[in-house]
Amino acid sequence: MSEPIVVGIDGSEESDRAVRWAAAEAVLRERPLHIVHVLESWPYKAPAFMPAETTERMTRVGHRLLTATRERVKEQWPALKVTTALVAEEIPQALHAQSDKAFELVLGSRGRGGFASMLLGSTSLRMAARPTVPVVIVHGDAADRGEVVVGIDLLRDVGPVLDYAFEAAALRDARLRVLHAWQTLGIIDAGLAIDAEQIELDLRTEVTETYQPLRTRYPRVDVVDEIILEHPVTALSNASANARVLVVGAHQRHWTAPQLGSIAHGVIHHAQCPVAVIPST
């Protein structure tokens, strides 16, 4: 398996956590690790306003950061193949280019320097919204115990999302929770009667049928499904409290009914565990 796990770093505590998660993931999946540090490209595009010694200093600092990070990784995982790259480019373009042939891209939830706007800014949101490979956002210290949780949207193709989730659960010998949230859009408030129990039963049947083919491929994975009458972001964020990783699709703008904004973006902001955002095929 030649496609690496790519992780973006900036020297912050959050990016250090992302490196640890990415390195453990690379070992688990028997893949190499590629560590990337992005220099803001604007100094190189405005030489009249930026002294040469400043850009040289930024470059030296970037190389030292990459070297130190690589050494820490090799101390803990000496057999892991680790490469590094220092890139002077716009951040989204650099991350896309470095991860284009990767298995997945791992980022910290926040950062400084080149990653100053992650994840609350536009750069990281664009990375999660339009990924070409799975993008994993690491929140805090990732747990080494607990479930893998996957949120599915029955109105969309969830094949890639379930594939990633089942494999993640199998590799970690963890239980997989398949979660689907739905809402009534004010039907109850409007005084209209609905059979919530029947709706839940029908949805559970559909959810089970959706992931059933993967039960054959991953017979050792313990799977539970959960149907919740709740906003998807709330349901998934709550489930993340006891999860090792939370898996969602990149373009989940609708579940059983239209929602305001992006489900994936809301989950990224509120989850309490690493979030894997899976691109559509």
Write out pLDDT tens, residues 89-139.
888 888 989 999 999 999 987 655 444 434 333 556 667 667 789 999 998
Spans in the chain with pLDDT lower than 50: 43-44, 46-48, 113-121, 187-190, 252-261
Pairing of strands 275-278, 135-138: antiparallel
**What CATH fold (topology level) applies to the domain 5-138?**
Rossmann fold (3.40.50)
Q: Classify domain 147-279 by CATH architecture.
A: 3-Layer(aba) Sandwich (3.40)
Q: Where does CATH 3.40.50.12370 sit in the chain? A: 147-279
Q: Which residues pair with 151 in a beta bridge?
A: 179
Reported pTM:
0.86
Q: Where does CATH 3.40.50.620 sit in the chain? A: 5-138
pLDDT of residue 274: 94
